[in-house]
């Protein structure tokens, strides 16, 4: 779904509609592009964020991208913005340390942003891999995660910038290790960076599927 170049209000409404459509379907995926940044795919029906937080994360990504676009010339930086549970991850490349710090500050002051993870590097944009290469690699990692026994499907948000895989999600400690190991074994992955929220045992139990209620016993014959 290509959003680049649309007016802000229309783009925001389309994002909401796309996410709500996925929630209604309970499965599937969608790539939302804001300012060239892929905002990822997910099996939204199994996402451990609430519906409200998922919608808010889409809007936060839009607000951060808008602020970055207003400050930086498109040709001078490559910044991908990923948001999970109101925590923003910046990945890509900028020319100077000052640009790196300013991008972080711009993201941090946007409405409802709780934390910023700054993975921006300093250097020329010439050596960056293409967005299509990153999209393909992210897809390979997502497919690998679907095959991991012991890792619930759709709970790990997977994004890729310049061959680096970024994992986000609410997971148990065991799930975190499984996801990192599986992602690191995918051919073409340069580095795996995990920004997981590690659940306590009690929190993890709350997310586990509940068994269906057992049928009531048949009345005994008299």
Written as six digits, the tokens of 25 are 């379907």
pLDDT at 74: 78
pLDDT, mean over the chain: 83
Question: What is the length of the chain?
Answer: 222
The pLDDT of 199-211, averaged and rounded, is 89
Q: Provide the β-strand partners of residue 94.
A: 122
Q: Is the pLDDT of residue 91 over 90?
A: yes
pLDDT at 50: 95
The pLDDT of 148-173, averaged and rounded, is 97
Q: Is the pLDDT of residue 112 over 60?
A: yes
Which residue segments constitute the domains of the chain, with CATH numbers given? Answer: 131-207 (3.30.1340.30)
pLDDT at 19: 52
How much of the chain, in percent, has pLDDT values that exceed 70? Answer: 75
Q: Whole-structure pTM over 0.85, yes or no? A: no
156: left (phi over 0), alpha (psi -120 to 50) or beta: beta
131: nearest Cα among 1, 66, 37: 37
């Amino acid at each position: 779904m290509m959003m680049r170049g649309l007016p802000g209000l229309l783009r925001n409404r389309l994002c909401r509609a796309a996410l709500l459509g996925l929630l209604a379907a309970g499965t599937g995926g969608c790539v939302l592009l804001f300012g060239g940044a892929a905002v990822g795919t997910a099996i939204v029906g199994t996402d451990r964020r609430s519906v409200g937080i998922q919608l808010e994360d889409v809007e936060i990504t839009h607000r951060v991208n808008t602020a970055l676009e207003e400050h930086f010339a498109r040709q001078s930086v490559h910044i991908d913005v990923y948001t999970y549970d109101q925590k923003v991850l910046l990945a890509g490349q900028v020319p100077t340390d000052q640009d790196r710090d300013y991008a972080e500050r711009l993201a941090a002051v946007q409405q409802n942003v709780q934390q910023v993870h700054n993975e921006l590097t300093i250097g020329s944009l010439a050596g960056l891999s293409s967005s299509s290469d990153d999209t393909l690699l992210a897809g390979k990692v997502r497919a690998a995660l679907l095959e991991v026994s012991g890792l619930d499907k759709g709970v790990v948000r997977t994004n890729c910038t310049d061959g680096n895989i970024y994992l986000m999600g609410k997971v148990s400690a065991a799930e975190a290790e499984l996801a990192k190991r599986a992602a690191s074994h995918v051919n073409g992955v340069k580095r795996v960076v995990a920004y997981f929220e590690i659940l306590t045992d009690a929190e993890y139990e709350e997310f586990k599927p509940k068994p269906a209620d057992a049928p009531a016993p048949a009345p005994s014959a008299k």
